[in-house]
Structure 1
Amino acid sequence: MSKSLVKAIKILDCFTVNPEMTINELAETANMPKTTVFRLASSLEEAGLLVKERKSSHEVTYRMGLKLLTFGKHVSEQLKYNKVALPHMKKLNEEVDELVHITVLEGNEAVYAETIDSSKPVRLVVKVGRRAPLYAGSAPKLLLSSMADEKIEAYLDEVELTKLTDNTLDNKERLKEEIQKIREKGYSISHSEHFKDTVGFSYPIYNHQKKMVAALGVSIPVLDYSEEKGKVILDKLEDTAKRIWDELGYTV
């Protein structure tokens, strides 16, 4: 992380002590030179994270901008999805004894926001916070399918489809066809696209605004896969996802 960014965050932290401060007060609280604080405060103001208010010809104060409230709202909502989903994830994990995960869209990547491991000796382990490209794996592809077509086109123009395994889709037209199939089916399956020798299944999580906010998934070692087991997992995933939808206020 750059030193300037760390210092800017330190300035934002000052507003947890006092909601409104002058440059002199910020410099004292942050223990930084006044010129540095002024430069960083100006940048934060330009970004909408701080608001400058002129009290008089001699006094100017800063306070947090509403943009931070927007960030906080998104973080709060994401945590809410996790809180609602977690007991249902635990029940699903007990039923199938496989890796269960919730994945969310962040920028042009999928992020594993919650995972519950299998108890089996041979199992896939994915740590919370791990990132994945949107073109590989059941959950990332499902999140990609939720984006508007123009955003998908923009993403495909920017990204280089790199082979992570032999099965990773590295052809943009084939990926578009896969996205269309996912939209038609309402769920996503992958065979060793992101992680080698695994099969992944994912169902969408919708909120009360009918927006896909996360992907609920189960991933299993390919050695444990059969068509019959795949159908059982998909049925249980669908039931679990629908129970989470109900709690989030989504109605079909």
Structure 2
Amino acid sequence: MEHKNKTVVKAMTLLNLFLARERLSLGDMIELTGMPKTSVYRMVCSLEEMGFLDRDENGMYALGLLFLQYGHLVSERLDIRKIALPIMEDLRDDVDEAVHLIVRQGNEAMYIEKIEGTQTVRLYTAIGRRSPLYAGACARSILTFLPEEERDAYIKKTELVPIASGT
């Protein structure tokens, strides 16, 4: 953390708690982060005032709608999404199935676009959802085409057991 601003890191630590939880109390945030009560209180007040957090009538906090605006902007500004969208639509029309666009982010895949098919049975996926590279057909397609050394290192690190074909 040589070049990171400690206040920003602490504020992001608070916001990252909401990746796993929909709502948190001030006490929850203090307990989960181990940060001093006064620091958490000041940061939460600032984040709420700026629209990053919303507080309900019970004093529970949730991510603010400002994140929806940021998320939409990020999605709209992704060049790969703009390029892929017409191709995805053509593919969906050809096969009448949902089409997903994912990108690799470290050892995970992130869904950045999807187009639903018209089939009644659907797989639930959400834009922004992350998945390990070994989980799901989309993510596995990235894993499959990694350079052999990189793929082998990933498999060894995640301790995946290869499934024998034909059994």
Question: With structure 1 as the length reference, what TM-score do the two structures score?
Answer: 0.33
Higher share in strand: 1
Choose 1 or 2 for highest CA Rg: 1
Greater relative contact order: 1 or 2 (C-alpha under 8 angstroms, separation 6 or more)? 1
